[in-house]
């Protein structure tokens, strides 16, 4: 069994009931779930099939990928969010965000 890359405590178990919701459509896919933190990891082929179906339904837009440089500020790095994305996501200085490391990627979620 593999260890969970998120919590490093639990083991990943195969499951067939991961629920993905895209624009009101519910997809049930196979993948792995952590026995400790319950983080879910859909199998890649299941995720790709879900994306294909969602595109056919017209609910999966082409992915948005922005390239930005980080700036130094104080003892850390700063990432600037473009104003058009700020407006689309209705972000403000008071918006709480969660930053996660998933493999070599940084995931930023607005709360």
CATH 2.10.260 fits 71-110, yes or no: yes
Report the pLDDT value the prediction gives residue 94, as an integer from 0 to 100: 93
Q: Is 45 helix (H, G, I), strand (E, B) or coil?
A: helix
The residue-averaged pLDDT of 72-79 equals 90
Categorize the per-residue pLDDT at 81 as very low, low, confident or very high, splitting at 50, 70 and 90.
Answer: confident
The residue-averaged pLDDT of 13-42 equals 94
The pLDDT tens digits of the residues spanning 2-22 come to 999 999 999 999 999 999 988
Report the pLDDT value the prediction gives residue 62, as an integer from 0 to 100: 64
Query: In this structure, are strands 25-34 and 12-22 parallel, antiparallel, or unpaired?
Result: antiparallel
Q: Chain centroid to CA 24: how far?
A: 17
Q: What is the pTM of this model?
A: 0.53
Phi (first) and psi of residue 79, to 5 degrees: -115, 125
Tokens 């067939």 correspond to: 16
Range(s) within the chain of domains with CATH label 2.10.260: 71-110
Residue 49 corresponds to which tokens in the numbers above? 């099939």
The residue-averaged pLDDT of 81-99 equals 87
Q: How far apart are CA 49 and CA 57, in angstroms?
A: 12
């Amino acid at each position: 069994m593999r260890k969970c890359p998120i919590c490093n405590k639990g083991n990943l178990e195969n499951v067939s009931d991961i629920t993905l919701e895209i624009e009101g459509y519910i997809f049930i896919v196979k993948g792995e779930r952590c026995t400790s933190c319950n983080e879910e990891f859909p199998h890649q082929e299941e995720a790709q099939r879900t994306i294909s179906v969602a595109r056919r339904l017209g609910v999966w837009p082409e992915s948005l990928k922005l390239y930005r440089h980080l700036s130094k500020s104080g003892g850390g790095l700063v990432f600037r969010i473009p104003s058009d994305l700020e407006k689309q996501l209705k972000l403000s200085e008071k918006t709480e965000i969660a930053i996660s490391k998933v493999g070599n990627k940084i995931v930023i979620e607005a709360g």
